[in-house]
Amino acid sequence: MGVAASEGYAIGRLYIHLEKAEITVPRKAQDPDLETSRFLQARERACAELGVLYHRALARVGEHHSSIFKIHLALLQDQDFFLEVRDCIREKGVTAEMAVQEVGQRFFRMFEEMDDDYMKARGADVRDIVSRLLWFLLEAKDQQEIPWLPEGAAGILAVEEIMPSQTIRLDAERVEGVITRTGSRTSHSAILARSLHIPAITGVGEAFDLLKDGSMVILDGFRGKVIQDPDEEVLNLYRQKMEEYQRQQKVLESYKGMRAVTLDGTVVDLCANISHPNDMDEVLDIGADGVGLFRTEFLFMYWGRLPTEEEQFFSYRMVLEQMQGKRVIIRTLDIGADKQVPYLKMEREENPAMGRRSIRFCLENQELFLTQLRALLRAARYGKLSILIPMVVSVEEVQSVRKLLEKAANDLEQEGIPYSKEYEFGVMIETPSAALISDLLAPHVDFFSIGTNDLIQFTIAADRENPHVAALCDAHQPAVRRLIEMTVRNATQAGVRVSVCGEAAADPSMTRFLLSLGVQELSVAPASLLEIRHTIQSMNLSK
């Protein structure tokens, strides 16, 4: 059993993807000084990570067992190791990666050849720190090889962990389901799996070790259940369930293009969450009432480099034009925590979800932020744009963004580049702070968008990525409901529009609660939209 992260069934051959033992590294380099400084930077980041690991281990297993990390730190900071790497870079004209690998091999053999067992065992430690250094040098932590299935194969993929940047590149035609050891329902990888219609079970924990490569498995994405080597009876049962599910999906198809209206006449704007302009085909096909959340950070992750103003403008404009005058809410860059953009080289932090992420990062990196704001203002001419700011905790942040928007507009004006000031401006209510001061935020904005995923994790103090606290991450918790209620009340009093775009909006058991508070706009993944439309159409709010 694990966490049901993405609905659906899959029956097929299991492919367990293991990390590659060897990492291929580039060989030749032009500039030895640059390579040496790259090595030093990677070493600094590796040391910082080891420091964190040491303190975590110290708290959990005590000094004796955690001292291994101290040994690794000492090896990493060893002056001989550094000098040999530096000389290797200079003398052989190779990259830092190559030098680390070569010198690492030499050190490894040196330990291996020692008589003392304790010293012999240090060889494995050298290997460990070498791969840690290589991960940092290659920016590979989030860019590891995408866990593809073997050429031409289709089936169910089992991986230890899957990053959003890897999930987004999965081939949904061949990957029929995903099982991971870690992860939870509101992790961004799970959200992506749902939008890709790939059934997924995350956080299976130790049960992962029971999986056998090549075995036949059933994946039940509704119950979070994996059945390995099922007998005929169980197989038949699941074949029937699969057929029934497909039939239901067909029924939902009949809701395409309809409006979401309750039996007693409340009209709800049912919008779609997207992470890339490519998602628009499905959005148009089901007939969403708007785009309620465009998570632009995925563009930055997808391209693997900073998208230019022109490229961003083109993507935003495309979505706005395709929606033909319906509202499109584009959220500014919300990177950090599990949404890492390696080439931005953000500093590693112990609690990244509460660190310099999202709007905090953007306000500290104004050039990058201004590029996005300029692209948005230029795109505003092509449709009904709303600009949404993530992770807000204070009025001051909102004022700072407003000022930057003014600056972006003035610059465009002076440069004679066409743009529009016809857009709405809103903030995400996804921190308890924002919900608690929603009355103070309201006068500064046109709308609120409640992000229940982060709101829950920060209210309940339960990491949305951690499967062990997944049960606590529940939108029905009274504390969360109170914050939502307070936000909607403050918005209504101030005449500010309010929508809900977190995963709770896609949970049919939350729909009545949200609508009875007066929420008239929900935004959900396209894969969930028809089901919520069906739920709303079967609901009588006055009852």
User: How far, in whole angstroms, is CA 141 from its chain's centroid?
Assistant: 14
Residue 129 or residue 192: which is nearer to ligand PEP going by CB?
192
For Mg ion, the binding residues (CB under 5 A) are 430, 451, 454
291 vs 320: CA distance, rounded Å: 9
- CB 516 to Mg ion: min, Å: 24
Q: Which residues contact 36 (CB under 8 A, 6 or more apart)?
A: 85, 86, 89, 90, 96
Q: Which of 88, 271, 473, 501 is catalytic?
A: 501
Burial, 202: exposed, middle or buried (Cβ in 10 Å; 0-12, 13-18, 19+)?
Answer: buried
Residue closer to Mg ion by CB (options 138, 391) is 391
Query: Which residues contact ligand PEP (rule: CB under 6 A)?
Result: 293, 295, 334, 430, 451-454, 501-502
| 188 catalytic per annotation | yes
DSSP 3-state helix, strand, coil percentages of the chain (rounded to 5)? 55, 15, 30
Nearer to ligand PEP by C-beta: 180 or 453?
453
Amino acid identity, residue 385? Answer: L
CB of 486 to ligand PEP, least distance (A): 17
Per-residue DSSP letter, 145: P
Please, what is the minimum distance in Å from the beta carbon of residue 235 to Mg ion? 40
Cα dist from 541 to 313, 477, 478, 517, whole Å: 41, 22, 21, 10
Q: How far is the CB of 451 from Mg ion (least distance, A)?
A: 4
From the list ligand PEP, Mg ion, none, partner contacted by residue 102 (C-beta under 5 to 8 A by kind): none
Write the DSSP symbol of residue 153: -
- Choice among 17, 72, 188, 534 that is catalytic: 188
Q: Which residue number places its CB atom closest to Mg ion?
A: 454
Q: Exposed, middle or buried by CB within 10 Å (0-12, 13-18, 19+), for 351?
A: exposed
Q: 443 with 492: CB under 8 angstroms?
A: no
Distance (Å, whole) CA 503 – CA 270:
14
C-beta closer to ligand PEP: residue 455 or 530 = 455
* Contact indicator for 294, 328 with CB cutoff of 8 Å: yes
Residue 97 contacts which entry, ligand PEP, Mg ion, none (Cβ below 5-8 A, type-dependent): none
Least gap, CB of 457 to ligand PEP (angstroms): 8
Cβ distance to Mg ion smaller for residue 45 or 331: 331
Active site residues: 188, 501
